Copies of this chain bind each other. A is one copy, B any other.
Amino acid sequence: MREIVIGAAQMGPIQRADDRAAVVARMIALLDRAKAGGCDLVVFPELALTTFFPRWYIEDQAEVDAWFEREMPNPATQPLFDRAREHEIAISFGYAELTPEGRHFNTSILTDRAGQIVGKYRKVHLPGHSEFDPDRSHQHLEKRYFEPGDLGFPVWRNMDAWIGMMICNDRRWPEAYREMGLQGVELVLLGYNTPSANSQRPDETLETRLFHSDLSMQAGAYQNATWVVGVAKAGNEDGHALFGGSVIVAPDGLVAERAETEDDELLVHACDMDDCDFGKATIFDFKRHRRIEHYGRITAQTGVIRPDGTTG
């Protein structure tokens, strides 16, 4: 048995006016509850330190950059790292990263139980669009404010397990899980901010949207025999609703824990990494069953090419 007690630290809404200190205080409160619950690792959402600012079209780059972190840890987040080290709890959370070279990424980090950053991931699958779209009920400007991640889908050894990260929309892409599955991943950590309404399809129900989120994480878990921890930032941010639905998914694809609220909420589950072994040794023993000679289009072409030569 290789048990990691995982805390999925869903966060309620962060308003535009909330400063980093207020947010970090909430994260520390969740960390304290996780310590009481015996957690070894706590996972916070995507862009955990701020509101989900890509919903707004902002023309002033200085105003955009104010949502970004220039180093990590930094003075605002140091207390979180300190408390994590004190509790001997590894943490993972997302933030907007502005590099010394002026590059912008949607990033998440993973620490060890001593509070040292051991892994960084930059979101590969940026959803949405890059210019103002008057036909949407709200904007989703991730393609404007970030560039696509340049680090691939790394997997790290931490706490006697193979751990990877993805962020939000990555969870809908089987390629993301498979890249990590091919590195033996046993635990995928992912945070998200997902609007409760589809900006381009008003009749899509919240129930359907939660189903799509679950479906993608459960399929990724099952088809790669890995734990998946999906953690929402949820609730009403300045009039814009984000759904909750944080889950801890077992390697058989079944949901082990599920959030009930759209507020700060901690799910705790003792996850045995050895539970990945059965799937990896049988139905998803890749070396016996995958047939890469028939997968060529997956890496050879980005978009659709139909048999008649038309593209889509």
Contact = CB atoms under 8 A, between A and B. Distances in A.
B252 A208 contact: yes
A64 interface: no
A290 interface: yes
Contacts of A182: 297-298, 301, 303-305
Contacts of A148: 291
A302 interface: yes
A97 B280 CA distance: 30
Contact of A212 (B124, B222, B289, B312): B222
Contacts of A272: none
A303 B286 contact: yes
A278 interface: yes
Contacts of A223: 172-174, 216, 219
A248 to B, nearest CB: 17
B298 A178 contact: yes
A277 to B, nearest CB: 10
Contact of A280 (B127, B289, B304): B304
Interface stretch (A38-46, A73-81, A150-158, A263-271): A150-158
How many chain A residues sit at the interface, stated as a range, is 35 or more
A305 to B, nearest CB: 7
Nearest to A284: B172
Contacts of A285: 303
Contact of A222 (B201, B216, B253): B216
Contacts of A61: none
Contacts of A201: 278, 282
Interface in A143-191: 148-149, 152-157, 162, 169, 172-175, 178-179, 181-184
A227 B235 CA distance: 33
B311 A301 contact: no
A253 B305 contact: no
A221 B310 CA distance: 21
A190 B102 CA distance: 49
Nearest to A216: B219
Contacts of A181: 304
Contact of A172 (B208, B283, B308): B283
Interface of A: 124-127, 148-149, 152-157, 162, 169, 172-175, 178-179, 181-184, 200-201, 208, 211-212, 215-216, 218-219, 222-223, 252-254, 278, 280, 282-292, 294-308, 310-312
7 contacts: A175-B294, A184-B306, A212-B253, A215-B253, A216-B219, A287-B303, A292-B301
